[in-house]
Amino acid sequence: MPDVVLVDAGGSNIGSLRYALQRLGVDARLSSDATRIRAASHVILPGVGAAAPGMQRLRDAGLVEVLRALRQPMLGVCLGMQLLFEHSAESDTPCLGLLPGRVGRLAGDDHVRVPHMGWNALTPLRDDPLLAGMPHPAYAYFVHSYAAQPGACTLASATHGAMFSAVVRQGNVCGMQFHPERSAAVGARLLRNFISL
């Protein structure tokens, strides 16, 4: 049975993510304790809100270097995924630097609303165990104003005005820009794939 820890850096809407994991038979524990996080088989970094306060919460909890040093599978969700990159344009925020690239604001206009809220199609760009068994088409639920452009670590993209990274992975570091816990069977499948890594 995987030992999954949800990083508790405060300010995150974690209840629905815990419940989604419980439906998969995983009782994920919430922790901000560095020793507990290091001992987990899988680590999930949730996030709701803005990049600068998110990084400040991690610094205040003494978790920045802990997360940077992890070697087990780690998943960033929504803001948590954005914090995995080098930098966010949101308040000009240096992030964890675990993935190459920068996070920028989505470009809106009369036809493209920002924030991007609602269901959107995922487009697989390359094969990976994280995407195993994902249906085609696959739709996920997004709530965000910032995103990373597609790059070398992008496994699947979505398009809202322009294309952006929806699922990323480099080594042990994974990210989902959408909310898998709100994305029905697709989200459940991707969470199951993550805890199987």
DSSP code for 28: P
Active site residue 153: no
Distance between CA atoms of residues 104 and 3, nearest Å: 33
Is the Cβ–Cβ distance between 154 and 125 less than 8 Å? Answer: yes
Candidate list 116, 153, 160, 181, residue with the active-site label: 181
Candidate list 42, 116, 144, 179, residue with the active-site label: 179
Kindly compute the dihedral angle of the four CA atoms of residues 48, 53, 58, 61, in this order, to the nearest 10 degrees. -110
Strands (E), the chain: 4-7, 29-31, 42-45, 74-77, 87-88, 93-94, 102-105, 116-124, 138-144, 146-148, 154-160, 162-170, 173-176
Active site residue 95: no
Candidate list 78, 95, 153, 174, residue with the active-site label: 78
Map residue 75 onto helix, strand or coil.
strand
Instruction: List active site positions.
Output: 78, 179, 181
